[in-house]
Structure 1
């Protein structure tokens, strides 16, 4: 696959923009183009209530126009696992401003906080439920030591962090041996979204489960599973394959580690329609982002009962390129984008999308980045 170049222009990007996505529900107008409205960054090291802010891996618009954001600080690093309420202020022609309003903690079923001194969860995504509560996902913690192994999960909590329930995620997502079957370490529930039409909760792994084939490389893509979870029963009701393309950027010779690519988030934009965020990174090169319209159609295969996708016959979810964002997009050097949400409606009536980056708490090279895109609709 051809490597991305920072020399792409907005005109070239818009020329490749798919025009068949819809936003919010089926009555929404179709997206004609996306326009960069602005961006803002809070520097790594920013403190709130004495705790370092960062690791934003999930973002969702709250009912009051503020935003829920979740940090992937696992515990045993910089503090107790936590989430935030933020305000984002923006309008066409004005700077984007970000304000931290509150810091809260996700609570365990017994009402206690997750420990600050040990890795027990890896929070990755957060979404508002139709009943006003919040859903959140964890990649857990892989370890060959059973005492240190914590399984990934999908849970519901109140807006002040109190545990409500845990969903029954398919067993194929659980850690087994991190080699031949089950989830791979740190490659599980990055993506989470809620369907606007019926409240179905969708979760997906970041890169291939061990039984579904190799991880994505520069030479070859991989496949992940998008699971529809029934919001009433908490059980899986269907599952679909989503194909990840090869990694679009390569690390230079001698890099400390190789490049990667993953499905970092999903956003529902209508019945069975989503925007997928594909986030790639190569050390010494940078991040590239693709926004993909993906859809479950009548011909998409339900693979919930398929134990391994390797060699299996199935029809994957459809893919259409919405926007390809190279390493530097319209003068903005992209960071580790892991979140997408609908933003507020502008004074001109256009809707917005907000992207957010996980800074990995790396002060030398990363920041807490927020990017706002204006939706130009037909």
Structure 2
């Protein structure tokens, strides 16, 4: 039996206070039912799962397969941009139903390509303040800018060491997996999925993964900025990063064990006191190097399954290959998150949307 968390109790109390007005007193029984239900959805003292949906799984839209999703971002028109790692960018009309179950339907899709018209291993996504799209590809790796119509507009510089070997020290398919833009729009951050060859571990034995930043100069141009060392949990990689809104980052770490299933953990990380390691050839780089601090918000395997089913072994059938994360609502110290799993166009995997509510601890 799951114990009642302070977060769930507070959220339920606030919801009850908002609903009990003279004109809505008749809703009290329904509110009481929701309040009693809230603890059953707690994943941790900081995180609650509101619902999930498999409605997009194995769907098609305008002849395109709806899936392979690796990143999410809220667009300027209120839709959610969903990036497929097969060089396509969908726009989803996303709504919350019932107690928070997400529903989504595709409304647009555009194709993306590199400078030669070739495909991308598109993994990270940011909708910039002018509506253009910044998209990472794991192949080189790269960060490219696209118009809303999918037209390639430019490309950002990437340090040589982060290039895939033999050009650099990155491992193929383990490069720029996450991308986010900090509040104010001046700092862009990309996360490597795994460590560079030659980089080591922190004092706790956690592999150090590099976060690369760019600083904006002018309206659109980004120049290379500081680089930070992030300690990923052993056996996991960094699947996504998203700005929390106060300088901190939400970090999604993910791993997979055949016959056991997925491990997915949500962390809150703070790069503001971390050392710039862009000049450090091999991490950890000595006692003077300070890595990014992080705090576990929830192991999503501890969330209630809510009746979800899985098509392959999972410790919790709710889980799948979760890769995308976006903040869809802020307020009252809480964030509403939308997550998506990448089904790899595989019959044994599922394209699943998840809605979570997170109460952030104080900095």
Q: TM-score, normalised by structure 1?
A: 0.75
Contact 1:267–1:274 (Cα < 8 Å) also in 2: yes
Aligned-pair distance for 1:349? 11
The answer to whether 1:318 aligns with 2:305 is no
* Match of residue 186 from structure 1: 173
User: How far has the Cα of 1:317 moved from its partner?
Assistant: 0.4
Give RMSD over aligned pairs.
Answer: 2.9
Q: Could you tell me how far apart the structure 2 residues matched to 1:354 and 1:10 are?
A: 25
Q: Give the structure, 1 or 2, with the largest relative contact order (CA under 8 Å, sep 6 or more).
A: 1
Q: Which has the larger radius of gyration?
A: 2
Q: 1:102 aligns with which of 103, 108, 111?
A: 108
Q: 1:273 to 1:349 in 2, by over 3 A?
A: closer
Partner SS for 2:81: strand
Q: Distance in 2 between matches of 1:290 and 1:42?
A: 24
Partner of 1:277: helix, strand, or coil?
strand
Q: Which runs of 5+ in 2 are unaligned?
A: 9-43, 309-317
Q: Is 1:88 matched with 2:94?
A: yes
- Give 1:358's aligned residue: 342
Answer yes or no: is 1:305 the counterpart of 2:279: yes
Cα 1:209–1:94 shift into 2, 3 Å: closer
Query: Residue 320 of structure 2: SS of its match in structure 1?
Result: coil
Correspondence for 2:353: 370
Q: Partner of 1:255 in structure 2?
A: none
Decide whether aligned partners of structure 1 residues 342 and 136 sit closer, same or farther in structure 2, where only a CA change above 3 A counts: same
Q: Look up the match of 1:224.
A: 209
> 1:267 & 1:359 partners in 2: Cα distance?
21
> Is the contact made by 2:52 and 2:353 (CA closer than 8 Å) also made in structure 1?
yes
State how far apart, in whole Å, the 1-side matches of 2:52 and 2:192 are.
28
Gaps of 5+ in 1: 1-6, 16-30, 74-80, 115-119, 141-150, 248-260
Question: What's the CA shift string for 1:111-152, capped at 9, x where partnerless?
Answer: xx43xxxxx421001111122211110001xxxxxxxxxx21
The alpha-carbon distance between structure 1 residues 311 and 199, as it changes in their structure 2 partners (threshold 3 A), is: closer
Residue matched to 1:20: none
Q: Report the 3-state secondary structure (helix = DSSP H, G, I; strand = E; otherwise coil) of the residue aligned with 2:264.
A: strand
Q: What is the rounded CA distance, in whole Å, between the counterparts of 1:243 and 1:196 in structure 2?
A: 23
SS at match of 2:186: coil
Q: What is the number of residues matched between the two proteins?
A: 311
CA distance in 2, matches of 1:13, 1:370: 26
Aligned residue number for residue 338 of structure 1: 323
In the other structure, the counterpart of 2:17 is none
* Whole-angstrom CA distance in 2 between matches of 1:129 and 1:56: 19
What is the TM-score normalised by the length of structure 2?
0.78
- Classify 1:13/1:209 alpha carbon distance in 2 versus 1 (closer, same or farther; 3 Å): farther
